[in-house]
């Protein structure tokens, strides 16, 4: 237990701040527009900031989690662009290839990811396999030196924008559920792939994710990562990266959003004519949120301290659960502050958009119910219910 | 003795409304068709004259004024069905607009409004930008309904200016930002002549309960059908308990609405308290049930390919129509405790 800010960290923060202030786009650009996200990644690459926590031998900067956190904090401070559609490449696929990929796979993909030249998506969930991911049925049958893939994936974020996909398929039909799965690199431009963008509730033109259909798609066996039928284990490694530091940028960003909301509430209070009692309710909720976001930050520091020498444990489920539900309360206060204005969908930075966009926080990446199951069973040791992933 | 169960006679009109809506305006009408983007504005307009001809807009209006001559109970029961089937919110414009016109002695207007051939939009005034409002479902409307604590009125839409189409989160709505005329609405009925604002809140509350029951049923049906881990997700307590909470909240809200409608019918001294409580609890229930319903659907609930999002957005709209939750809370605490 100590606060110890080294000169190195101080210098790193100053360097990051200077660079970001000079390079962050002055006008906000919508995320999940392929060109916006890849251009920002290229800017990071050219400035030497791409993959800052990736090992040096794989093109990164090899920085420890403490400095990664400083980098994220500085990014949040100046509203730097989010990963957007680069998220899977940077947070999932790249790190997974680093620990489980072959030399060839790394040599081909890692530089393209760092330069913002290739967009990845995650093809895990299926219409019939959501929370129960291990029940997936999209199959890959070996034919010579290829896998022939048939089936469908759904909720694939940026599936309609991506070049590559981390795809989980069943390659052994006879093995038990988790045993017959492989993690493969799928070229999204392959013949036999069809992608249907799915409209979401956050706006008529907001297609965040897609359904992907595979009809005799041929994938070279050299694209298997971490060994055939070993995909469940590789997928656990992939999730480890997400659960470790993957959500920190979003958490820090929301702290900024909360502070903006407090300003908005104070400003509107002057002309609203609401009673003190009512203002008291808004104030109560905002103050509680401030404390809760402080706690989220503390939880994050704590888990980084704990994991300095290892991979994150299941307490990441607690951070995820606490953060996603706090986020939904935050966006809800905004709605109440706005009054009838909340019915207008003005732009993608609007409060209403933020409110609608917060709904999947308790669904994606393991629903809040599944997180509660994990906390109950893996942390508290309560008797197991139906087996979560 | 207080009897809080509608009689079969009182339920008859709502049953007719429900069977019409089920046959002619099923919820699935709001699904995007084929490759069409989910901009599905105004799909209900085609049915308006038919609904008018069936008397749906005049259930609670006296016969000598052109209405069906039933009471506030029948009208409230019907609005629960309008909510359940996500009928366009301009149904409030038609029903309350006819009442305003009738009370203001504009028999010439009443007939067209009740027949559904003179559509009435809704105005949501913007307190942070005085003199302006959102016009909801009003592009083809000659009149727009507005109300506040003091009374209710109809604004001639020809007198609105700076009309600017905007995008609403509720893609079923026509939505525009407008400047209101400087003068008072030409047709205005003060609340002491007829407490139309209170009736508006009551009808909104009934619609909100309809929404809450709609999401309850949607969740229960989905939880029985959707399987994960080889079992219906409704067998998991997380989901089962959420459904149970949805049902319990909806039951409480509906009971309070019946109590409020009785207070309205009998004009009891605590009528303001009861109606305020009814809209407050109905709004809270509708929003919470809509949120829970999305969660129960998993990723499907986040798409605009199922109805879950419509229920959420409609709940928020009805919160803002008439008295919103924040003002209702203030009002409820200002009221004396109801007599035993
Ligand atoms: C915005 C968004 C982006 C996504 N991006 C991707 C992506 O890029 N790639 C990808 O592969 N997937 C992605 N997903 C899918 C996500 O992983 C799944 O939505 C999630 O795993 C839940 O599965 P489901 O949607 O099928 O819901 P279901 O599993 O069908 O769950 C339905 C309901 O049942 C509950 N439930 C299920 N099982 C249990 C249980 N055992 N105990 C208690 N409650 C339970 C759930 O909590 C939920 O409320 C994304 C989802 C969203 C919303």
Looking at the domain that runs over A7-114, which CATH code has it been given? 1.10.540.10
Residue A229 structure tokens? 């039928």
Are A9 and A66 in contact by the 8 Å Cβ rule? The answer is yes
User: How far does residue A200's CA lie from ligand 1's centre (Å)?
Assistant: 15
* CA distances, B230 to each of A139, A228, A363, A385, B238 (Å): 19, 26, 20, 13, 16
Per-residue pLDDT tens digits for B104-145: 999 999 999 999 999 999 999 998 899 999 999 998 899 999
Per-residue pLDDT, A388: 47
A contacts of B126 (beta carbons < 8 Å) = 339-341
Mutate one of B304, B310, B329 to test the A interface: name it (highest A CB count within 10 A): B304
For chain A, the distance separating the N- and C-terminal CA atoms, rounded to the nearest angstrom, is 34
- Tell me the per-residue pLDDT of A113-167, one tens digit each, with 9 for 90 and over: 999 999 999 999 999 999 999 999 999 999 999 999 999 999 999 999 999 999 9
Taking chain B, what is the end-to-end CA distance rounded to the nearest angstrom?
12
Instruction: Give tens-digit pLDDT for A5-58.
Output: 889 999 999 999 999 999 999 888 888 889 999 999 999 999 999 999 999 999
Average pLDDT over residues B8-17: 95
- Specify whether B203 is located in the same domain as B183: no
> Which ipTM did the prediction report?
0.93
pLDDT score at B39: 59
B317 CA: distance to closest CA in chain A (Å): 7
pLDDT band at A279 (very low <50, low <70, confident <90, very high): confident
Confidence of residue B37 (pLDDT cuts 50, 70, 90): low
Residue B36's pLDDT is what?
Answer: 56
B339 lies in some domain: no
Of A303, A325, A327, the C-alpha closest to A314 is A303
Question: Which is more confidently placed, B35 or A173?
Answer: A173
The DSSP call for residue A309 is: G
Asked whether residue B160 falls in the same domain as residue B97, the answer is yes
pLDDT at A111 over 60: yes
**pLDDT for the residue numbered A385:** 75
| Secondary element (H or E) of residue A210 | strand A209-220
Mean pLDDT, all residues of chain A? 91
Which of the pair, A386 or A227, is modelled with greater confidence? A227
The residue written with tokens 């169960």 in the block is B5
The pLDDT score that the predictor gives to residue B338 is 86
With CB atoms and an 8 Å threshold, state whether A340 touches B126.
yes
Residue B265 forms part of a structural domain: yes
SS (H, E, C) B102-160: HHCCCHHHHHHHHHCCCCEEEEEECCCCCCEEEEECCCCCCEEEEEECCEEEEEEHHHC
Task: State the pLDDT at residue A309.
Answer: 53
CA–centroid distance, A366 to ligand 1, in Å, is: 6
Does domain A120-230 bear CATH number 3.40.50.920? no
Match domain A244-379 to its CATH number in 3.30.200.20, 2.60.120.260, 3.40.50.920, 1.20.140.10. Answer: 1.20.140.10
- List the strands of the sheet with B143-148, edge to edge: B161-165, B175-179, B132-136, B120-125, B143-148, B151-156, B187-190
Q: Which residues pair with A150 in a beta bridge?
A: A139
**Could you read off the pLDDT of A227-273 as tens digits, one per residue?**
999 999 999 999 988 877 788 888 999 999 999 999 988 888 776 67
Q: Based on the fold, state whether residues B257 and B285 are members of the same structural domain.
A: yes
B110 & B257 share domain:
no
Residue A197's pLDDT band (cuts 50, 70, 90) = very high
- Which DSSP symbol is given to B335? S
Structure tokens at A89: 């490449």
The yes-or-no verdict on residue B50 having pLDDT over 90 is: yes
Whether A340 and B320 lie within 8 Å, measured CB to CB: yes
Which of A340, A156, A323 has its CA nearest to residue B303? A156
pLDDT tens, residue by residue, A169-181: 999 999 999 999 9
The boundaries of the domain holding residue B26 are: 8-190
- Which residues in chain A (147-166) have CB-CB distances under 8 A to chain B? 154-155
Q: Is the CB of B236 under 6 A from ligand 1?
A: yes
A155: three-class secondary structure by DSSP: strand
Residue at B241 is within a domain: yes
CA-based nearest residue to A223, from A182, A181, A162: A182
Would you list the domain boundaries of chain A? 7-114, 120-230, 244-379
**pLDDT given at position A373:** 94
Query: What domain count does chain B have?
Result: 2
Which band of pLDDT confidence, cut at 50, 70 and 90, is reported for residue A389? very low
Say if residue B177 is in the same domain as residue B204.
no
Q: Which two tokens stand for residue B333?
A: 């605490």
A239 torsion bin: left (phi>0), alpha (psi -120 to 50), beta (else) = alpha
pLDDT at A278: 75
């Amino acid at each position: 237990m100590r606060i110890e800010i080294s000169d190195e960290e101080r210098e790193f923060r100053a360097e990051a701040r200077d660079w970001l202030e000079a390079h962050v786009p002055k006008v906000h650009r919508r995320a999940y527009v392929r060109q916006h996200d890849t251009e920002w990644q290229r800017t990071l690459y050219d400035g030497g900031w791409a993959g800052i926590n990736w090992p040096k031998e794989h093109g990164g900067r090899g920085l420890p989690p403490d400095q990664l956190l400083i980098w994220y904090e500085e990014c949040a401070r100046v509203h730097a662009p989010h990963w957007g559609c680069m998220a899977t490449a940077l947070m999932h696929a790249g790190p997974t290839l680093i620990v489980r990929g072959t030399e060839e796979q790394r040599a081909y993909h890692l530089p393209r990811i760092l330069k913002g030249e290739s967009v990845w998506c995650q093809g895990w969930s299926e219409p019939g396999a959501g929370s129960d991911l291990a029940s997936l049925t999209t199959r890959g049958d070996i034919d010579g030196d290829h896998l022939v893939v048939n089936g469908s994936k759904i909720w694939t974020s940026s599936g309609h924008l991506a070049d590559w996909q981390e795809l989980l398929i069943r390659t052994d039909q006879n093995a038990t559920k988790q045993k017959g799965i492989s993690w493969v690199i799928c070229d999204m431009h392959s013949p036999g792939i069809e992608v249907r963008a799915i409209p979401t509730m956050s706006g008529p033109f907001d297609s965040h994710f897609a359904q992907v259909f595979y009809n005799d798609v041929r994938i070279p066996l050299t694209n298997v990562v971490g060994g055939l039928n070993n995909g469940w284990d590789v997928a656990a490694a992939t999730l480890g990266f997400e659960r470790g530091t993957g959500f920190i940028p979003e958490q820090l960003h929301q702290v900024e959003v909360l502070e903006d909301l407090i300003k908005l509430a104070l400003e509107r209070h002057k002309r609203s004519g609401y009673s003190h009692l009512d203002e008291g309710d808004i104030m109560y909720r905002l103050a509680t949120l401030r404390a809760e976001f402080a706690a989220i930050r503390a939880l994050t520091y704590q888990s980084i301290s704990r994991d300095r020498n290892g991979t994150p444990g299941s307490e990441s489920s607690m951070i995820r659960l606490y953060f996603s539900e706090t986020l939904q309360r935050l966006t809800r206060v905004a709605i109440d502050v706005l009054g009838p204005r909340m019915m207008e969908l003005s732009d993608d930075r609007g409060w209403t958009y933020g409110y609608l966009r917060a709904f999947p926080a308790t669904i994606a990446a393991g629903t809040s119910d599944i997180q509660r199951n994990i906390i109950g069973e893996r942390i508290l040791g309560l008797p197991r219910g139906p087996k979560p992933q | 003795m207080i009897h809080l169960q509608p009689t079969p006679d009182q339920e008859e009109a709502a049953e007719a409304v429900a069977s019409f809506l089920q046959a002619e305006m099923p919820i699935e009408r709001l699904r995007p068709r084929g490759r069409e983007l989910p901009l599905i504005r105004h799909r209900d307009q085609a049915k308006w004259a038919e609904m008018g001809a069936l008397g749906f807009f005049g259930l609670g209006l006296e016969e000598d004024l052109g209405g069906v001559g039933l009471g506030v109970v029948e009208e409230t029961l019907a609005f629960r069905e309008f909510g359940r089937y996500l009928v366009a919110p301009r149904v409030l414009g038609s029903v309350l607009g006819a009442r305003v016109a009738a009370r203001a002695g504009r028999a010439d207007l009443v007939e067209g409004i009740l027949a559904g051939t003179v559509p009435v939009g809704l105005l949501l005034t913007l307190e942070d930008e005085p003199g302006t409002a959102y016009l909801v479902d009003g592009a083809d409307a000659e009149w727009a309904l507005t109300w506040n604590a003091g009374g209710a009125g109809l604004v001639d839409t020809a007198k609105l200016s700076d009309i600017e189409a905007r995008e609403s989160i509720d893609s079923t709505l026509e939505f525009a930002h407008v400047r209101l005329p400087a003068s008072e609405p030409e047709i205005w009925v003060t609340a002491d002549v007829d407490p139309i604002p209170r009736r508006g809140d009551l009808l909104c509350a009934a619609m909100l309960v309809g929404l809450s029951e709609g999401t309850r049923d949607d969740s229960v049906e989905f939880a029985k059908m959707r399987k994960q881990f080889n079992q219906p997700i409704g067998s998991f307590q997380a989901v089962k308990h959420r459904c149970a909470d949805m049902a319990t909240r909806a039951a409480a809200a509906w009971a309070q609405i019946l109590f409020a409608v009785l207070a309205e019918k009998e004009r009891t001294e605590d009528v303001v308290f009861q109606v305020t409580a009814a809209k407050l609890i109905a709004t809270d229930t509708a929003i919470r049930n809509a949120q829970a319903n999305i969660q129960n659907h998993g990723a499907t609930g986040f798409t605009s390919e199922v109805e879950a999002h419509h229920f959420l957005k409609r709940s928020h709209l009805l919160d803002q129509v008439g008295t919103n939750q924040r003002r209702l809370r203030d009002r409820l605490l200002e009221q004396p405790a109801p007599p035993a």
